[in-house]
Amino acid sequence: MAISFTVNGEKKTLDVDPKTPLLWALRDTLGLTGTKFGCGMNRCGACTVHVDGQAKRSCVTRVSSVEGKEITTIEGLSPDGTHPLQISWQKINVPQCGYCQPGQIMKAAALLSETPEPSDADIDKAMAANICRCGTYQRVRGAIHEAAAEMKKA
Amino acid sequence: MNYFDKDTQKSPFKVSRRGVLQAGLGLGASGLVLGFRPGRTLAKPSSAATDAQPAFAPNLFVEIEETGKVRLIVHRTEMGQGVRTSLPMMLADELEVDIDQVELVQAVGDKKYGNQNTDGSTSIRLNWEPLRQAGAAAREMLVQAAAKKWGVAADQCRAEQGKVIGPDGELTYGELAVLAAREEVPDKPELKDPSDYRYIGKKVTGLDVPDMVQGKSTYGMDVRLPGMVYASIERSPTIAGKLGSFDPAPAMAVRGVQKVLTLEARSQPMNTNASVAVVADSTWNAMEGRKALEIEWDSGGKTLESSDDYRAKLEALVDGEGNAVRSEGDWAAARDGAAKVLEARYHGPYLVHAPMEPLAATALVKDGKCELWVPAQDPQTARQRVAALLDMPLENVTVNVTFLGGGFGRKSKPDFIIEAASIAQQLEGTPVKLVWSREDEVKHGFYRAQNMQKLQAAVDGEGGLVGWRHHTAFPTIISTFMAGATDPNPFEVGMGATNLPYAVPNVQVEASGLTSDLRIGWLRSVCNTFHAHAVNCFMDELAEDAGKDPVDYRLAMLGEDRKLKFSPREDPYPLETARLRRVIERTAENASWGSKLADGMGHGFAAHFSFLSYVGMALKASVEEGKVKVHEVDCVLDCGTAISPDSVVAQMEGAVAFGLSMALYGEITVRDGVVRQSNFHNYPMLRINEMPKVNVEILQTGNPPSGVGEPGVPPVAPALANALYPVTGKRFRDLPIAPQLKA
């Protein structure tokens, strides 16, 4: 059964098992490997993407459930890697191994679109969904504040 | 012939702009294209895969083309510790090039690069001299070439950011490359004066970070080859277990499943379990096929020993006599003559690594050769093992190293790479990516050893230490390489037990070993984690008994400044008690140690020497509704010379998170013959809402650089345990802490 949806602005039609998690459809079928596999059970947030603008964990999102929807992955967050979070992440030198960071950034982007000036508590509440084993949390907080400030200026 | 050699004639890498490689690496006659993205591409051998031999390649680490393109080769593995920034910083500084203009090339596993085993916090220490010399040698040759061309003396010329500047003009490195190649490589190039460093000791943003934040970096999990298939493996739950009966039919009936293969168990040092691999057209379909497998394992009547039984064995061991691994003075006489003898037992469970990227490995076996794309901490060992497995000469095995989504020691073991090669062998000509699930990673780990320690102190009338006995018991990591090994190795007890820094006249350190049903591995900081916990907590107990402040007590017990050597490994880097003292004093100062705290808040202290570095930590914690809240951590580090200070600070911040996960939650237990934990719901990690504010100070003491990736972890758990004592009245001699607060 073909399933159609939009990924990073491009219409895609896939012929995969409808139960396939969106994560594996993105990674294996569409080659968008920026979205990461960490736990496969809705626990770590490494697989976070936007579905119609909302942060969703793609490892537990069936591909059939996104029929007709708009998906944004880290590859499509900005056309040239200049989303304020991508800039602040570099400025504050957030990543260590970097593996969880696409998920962190996608989750943070959804936070900023709902709460443009988040407090530390807002950040903790939203970002507790995402595990970073390297422990970059202090810088994640800093980089979200930094991006929020830049977006306010703009 | 090497796939890459063939490829380079057909579809070379194209260098389009700074640091950017276009993907498009054809593989062999089938025209395979390796889907690496543009960027600071990994998994590419050095000159073998570049489109042209560089005009100037004076050593293994520097290549300069006539176009001016500079390539720096990184031979150690990037797993978050920042080697792909800090090693190039050392090269670029001495070479005098703009670090933002270089291209980084990740080396394949090859002994020509020397030690590539990225463990033990050694990447900087082992390469500090050689890489600066490699950069300086190239720079001197470029200067010499320019001087000759101009007919002036070399000392009238200087190198600066990719150019040589002479009395009457300047030439770029690209213009000089061909000429420089004719110069002799200097034996002893002159290194820069530290005051002239452009990068070393300065903040440099991670060179791979721009790609990382766009999802462009290729991790082991992300490797894609045309025609590639995917595999998921069901393993025997016990190490020695054999495949009893199984029926591949239900798995074969699952959509996308192409093959079901069996893999035999391989003993040390291969260390893989008997297993059944399901091969499919996608990761998900392989995993679904695997779920449908019906397998009976033949465990030979053996089940995994329970953690509780194991604990009882450890306890019996430390209550008895062990092998003396350090004896000074006469412990027994000191004990018998002491005003008081204090003792305590400390216990720590098995721990698993849980890097965010579970294990993954991609392999292709074709025409008597094997090529691998893997997140390997130790690519040379991976190469040797695969060559042995496939009965191929070493040169027929190519190990390309990807980014690692965390390693922490787990990816130094090549078991998952061996599995991928075994599958690829059975799929001759078809590349296969083996993907481990999180459950696989948790249940089939190489675990940090479960351990027990008994500490005893003989104290005089004033609480001074006159005798110290430390008996440590745990299964040795040597059992991972040699079946049946039991005795802890000197290097293991040398991680925080034998190298006690305190000045005690009578010291007895004993070790006891035993076998384990689980595989033992390195986990960030290794035995230092449990030894530091025991020693630092015991020091606090002794201080309390003596009626002294824990920091004052430590400083008093350090005695006179001494340089201690416990093993040849530490030869150029003795344990200097004066440096430890300075770290302790500075930590206390930064933390305003001794000042009044809010009600319900505890301040805990720990200091530890490991990987030749000195770390002090003071940690503020409280307990709110049965949950630990860590408020702030002050950390001071002396790692001699910090090459990339911002990375060093990041490592300390990360070490606090890693140490808190370990101290609060980390526990792998065996019950009813199985590892109980499986994923993050029952092997939890610290999350951002639990992350304290971490303040880090690096003491740049001018000593040679020492370890950074690991030394921050050991003091965390004892600092937390010590902070919670005044809050709860409980000495946390057992880890993890969180389950004990619920009880």
Q: Which helix (H) or strand (E) holds B492?
A: helix B490-493
CA pair distance B193, B523, nearest whole angstrom: 37
Crossing angle of helices A84-91 and A101-114, in 10° steps, is 130
Q: Which of B230, B438, B654 sits opposite A134 (nearest CB)?
A: B654
Local confidence band at B568 (pLDDT 50, 70, 90 cut-offs):
low
**Are the CB atoms for B345 and B311 separated by under 8 Å?**
no
Beta carbons of B355 and A105 less than 8 Å apart: no
Closest approach of chain A CAs to the CA of B607, in angstroms?
Answer: 21
Contact A96 B255 (CB under 8 A): no
DSSP string, A66-95: GTT-EEE-GGGSSTTS--HHHHHHHHTT--
Q: Which chain A residues are Cβ-neighbours of B255 within 8 angstroms?
A: 17
The answer to whether the CB of B720 falls within 8 A of the CB of B663 is yes
What is the predicted pLDDT for the residue at B46? 38
B209 vs A40: CB contact, 8 Å cut-off? no
Chain-chain contact of A124 with B688 (C-beta, under 8 angstroms): yes
In tens, the pLDDT along B150-208 reads 999 999 999 999 999 999 999 999 999 999 999 999 999 999 999 999 999 999 999 99
Phi and psi torsions of B58, nearest 5°: -70, -20
Q: Mean of the per-residue pLDDT values for chain B? A: 92
Q: B117-131: per-residue pLDDT in tens?
A: 999 999 999 999 999
Rg (Cα) of chain A, in Å, rounded?
15
Q: What's the pLDDT band for B684 if we cut at 50, 70, 90? A: very high
Those of residues 46-65 in A touching chain B at CB distance below 8 A are 46
Q: B161 and B98 in contact (C-beta within 8 Å)?
A: yes
Q: How far is B488 from B478, CA to CA, in rounded Å?
A: 8
pLDDT of residue B598: 95
Q: Which of B60, B80, B75, B72 is nearest to B117 (CA)?
A: B75
pLDDT reported for residue B239: 86
pLDDT tens sequence across B386-420: 999 999 999 999 999 999 999 999 999 999 999 99
Q: Do A137 and B688 touch (CB under 8 A)?
A: yes
Residue B297: what are its φ and ψ, rounded to 5°?
-95, 140
Q: What is the mean pLDDT of residues B731-743?
A: 93
pLDDT tens, residue by residue, B416-430: 999 999 999 999 999
What is the predicted pLDDT for the residue at B12?
A: 24
pLDDT band at B301 (very low <50, low <70, confident <90, very high): confident
Contact B44, B25 (CB under 8 A): yes
Residue A120, chain B, CB below 8 Å: the answer is no
Per-residue pLDDT tens for B434-464? 999 999 999 999 999 999 999 999 999 888 8
Distance CA B68, CA B174 (A): 4
For residue B604, the model assigns a pLDDT of: 98
Residue B206 backbone zone (phi > 0: left; psi -120 to 50: alpha; other: beta): beta
- pLDDT tops 50 at residue B709: yes
pLDDT of residue B3: 26
Residue of B84, B207, B284 best to disrupt the A interface, most CBs of A under 10 A: B284
Check B209 against A132: CB less than 8 A apart.
Answer: no
Chain A, 79 to 108: residues with Cβ < 8 Å from chain B are 81, 85-86, 89-91, 93-102, 105
Distance CA B8, CA A141 (A): 44
Q: How far apart are CA B693 and CA B212, in angstroms?
A: 25
**Rounded mean pLDDT of B571-579?**
88
Nearest CA in chain A to B78: A97
Are B271 and B412 within 8 A, CB to CB?
no
ipTM of the complex: 0.98
Dihedral angle computed from the Cα positions of residues B551, B557, B558 and B561, in that order, rounded to the nearest 10 degrees: 130
Chain B residues touching A21 at Cβ < 8 A: 284
Section B705-733 average pLDDT: 98
Which of B222, B357, B646 minimises the CB distance to A93?
B646
CA B414, B419, B420, B424 dihedral sign is: positive
pLDDT in tens, B605-623: 999 999 999 999 999 999 9
**Confidence class for position B38, pLDDT limits 50, 70, 90:** very low
Q: B515 and B474 in contact (C-beta within 8 Å)? A: no
Residue B567: predicted pLDDT = 67
- Please count the residues of chain B: 743
**CB neighbour burial string for B305-318, b if at least 16 within 10 angstroms, e if fewer:** ebbeebbeebeebb
Q: What are phi and psi of B552, to 5 degrees?
A: -60, -40
pLDDT over 70 for what percent of chain B?
Answer: 92
Q: What is the pLDDT of residue B40?
A: 38
- Which chain A residues contact residue B680 at CB under 8 A? 39, 41, 43-44, 131
List of chain A residues whose C-beta atoms are within 8 Å of the C-beta of residue B653:
135-139
User: What is the Cα–Cα distance from B139 to B97, expressed in whole angstroms?
Assistant: 9
Structure tokens at B31: 């025209």
d(CA A88, CA B210): 11
Question: Is A93 close to B650, i.e. CB distance below 8 A?
Answer: yes
What integer pLDDT is reported at residue B570 of this predicted model? 53
When CB atoms are compared, the residue of A90, A130, A133 closest to B354 is A133
Q: Of A101, A130, A138, which to mutate for an interface test with B (greatest number of B Cβ within 10 Å)? A: A138
User: Cβ separation of A20 and B284 shorter than 8 Å?
Assistant: yes
Bridging pattern class, strands B163-166 and B169-172: antiparallel
Name the strand (E) or helix (H) holding B283: helix B283-292
Residue pLDDT tens, chain A, 154 long: 799 999 999 999 999 999 999 999 999 999 999 999 999 999 999 999 999 999 999 999 999 999 999 999 999 999 999 999 999 999 999 999 999 999 999 999 999 999 999 999 999 999 999 999 999 999 999 999 999 999 999 8
> Mean pLDDT over residues B55-67, rounded?
95
Question: Chain B contact for A137, CB < 8 A?
Answer: yes
A37 contacts B209? CB cut-off 8 A: no
| Contact call for B224 and A31, based on CB within 8 A | yes
pLDDT at B36: 33
Query: Considering only CA atoms, which of A130, A83, A76 is closest in space to residue A109?
Result: A83
Size of interface A-B (CB pairs under 8 A): 196
Q: Give kind and range of the element (H or E) at residue B721.
A: helix B716-728
CB contact A116 to B (< 8 Å)? no
DSSP code at position B410: G
How far off is chain A from B180, nearest CA to CA, in Å? 36
Within 8 A by CB and 6+ apart from B129, the residues are: none
Q: Which chain B residues contact residue A81 at CB under 8 A?
A: 210, 213-214
B560 near B642, Cβ under 8 Å? no
Q: B229 to chain A: nearest residue by CA?
A: A28
Task: Look at A74 and B215 and tell me if their CB atoms are within 8 Å.
Answer: yes
Give the model's pLDDT for residue B743.
59
